[in-house]
Amino acid sequence: HRYVDNQGVPIVVKADGLAAGKGVVVATSLEQAHQAIEYMLTTNALGVKHNQAGACVVIEEFLAGEEASFMVMCHGDQVLPLATSQDHKRLLDHDLGPNTGGMGAYSPAPVVTPEIHSRVMREIIMPTIAGMKKDGIRYTGFLYAGLMIDAQGKPKTLEFNCRLGDPETQPILMRLKSDLLSLLLAATDDQAGALKDFPIQWDTRTALGVVMASQGYPLAPQSGEAITGLPPESADTMVFHAGTVTPQPGQGGKGEVLSAGGRVLCVTALGHTVKEAQKNAYEL
Ligand code: GLY
């Protein structure tokens, strides 16, 4: 608390442990920062799975800029960048709600210009791969760098994940024209260039996904609400299920779709511009 008072706001308070993407508070007032520390350390309202050391918080510098998600596939030294994307973090329209795991995303992220793309590969991704190698880690899989890109175009790393992002995955997969299984197989193939030179193809259009969340998300999401009106499949749209269940007759249900968790659906559509993709997603 004293440290936060000395630093002032804006400041970032993070739960040190798994919090399903909800453990970050970007505090713009001292009151908010102190409150976040209290509920992360004392009441554990987020249900954080604490690391072994027990309840800890990490307090970080507030970085201004635009966030982007930069994902690559790796197999040892071989690296294949995927399409860029950007997720939208805050609940409610006009950024009035708390930070979440992501309320929507689009791909590509125009903030990642070709120059910034090269810079991220050179200054962040390749040194990370080299660093892992030095530590004796030959990593195969998805590597996700969460970036903040400042007004001068300088990228800084906020986090790394060993997975694709949610909900960035949904628009990225909408744009992937290559066969996903062949791509995954290439990422386990030791032949030189199998992954690095994989002829990955993307739809040149923008894909945008809007998350439908349960009432009460992120703190106390409701479950078990019936979902109706799911649209039929189409080539340019897709409703991805995240927090749903369809209990069958033997399980006390009738095969209806029910919500089961915080982020329930990601309604995703392609369009020629971000605006058009957004319009198509909201229409869907
Ligand atoms: N959308 C942020 C993440 O998946 O980490």
Q: pLDDT-derived band of residue 219, with 50, 70 and 90 as boundaries?
A: confident
168 lines ligand 1 (CB under 6 A): yes
Tell me the average pLDDT across 234-244.
96
For residues 227-232, give the mean pLDDT: 94
Backbone dihedral angles phi then psi of residue 235, each to the nearest 5 degrees: -70, -30
Whether the CB of 211 sits within 6 Å of ligand 1 = no
For ligand 1, pick from 14, 22, 69 the residue to mutate: most ligand atoms within 8 Å of CB: 69
Ranges 2-6, 89-93, 182-186, 239-243: which has the least confidence? 89-93
* C-beta of 171 in contact with ligand 1 (< 6 A): no
Q: Which DSSP helix (H) or strand (E) runs through 31?
A: helix 30-38
pLDDT of res. 51: 67
Instruction: Say yes or no: CB of residue 161 within 6 Å of ligand 1.
Output: yes
Query: Per residue in 139-186, pLDDT tens?
Result: 999 999 999 999 999 999 988 999 999 999 999 999 999 999 999 999
- Do the Cβ atoms of 258 and 247 come closer than 8 Å? yes
Q: Which atom of ligand 1 is nearest to the CA of 169?
A: 4
Instruction: Tell me the C-alpha distance between 22 and 273, whole Å.
Output: 30
Q: Is 37 touching ligand 1 by the criterion CB < 6 Å?
A: no
Mean pLDDT of the 14-31 span: 84
What is the number of the ligand 1 atom nearest to the C-alpha of 165?
Answer: 4
Q: What separation in Å is there between the alpha carbon of 126 and the centre of ligand 1?
A: 21
Average pLDDT over residues 190-205: 97
Residue 142, helix vs strand vs coil: strand
Cβ 238 vs Cβ 265: under 8 Å: no
* pLDDT category of residue 53 using cuts at 50, 70 and 90: low
pTM: 0.85
Residue 15 in contact with ligand 1 by CB distance below 6 A? no
- Structure token digits, residue 155: 């990228």
Residues in the chain, total: 284
Predicted confidence (pLDDT) per residue in 9-21, tens digit: 999 999 888 776 6
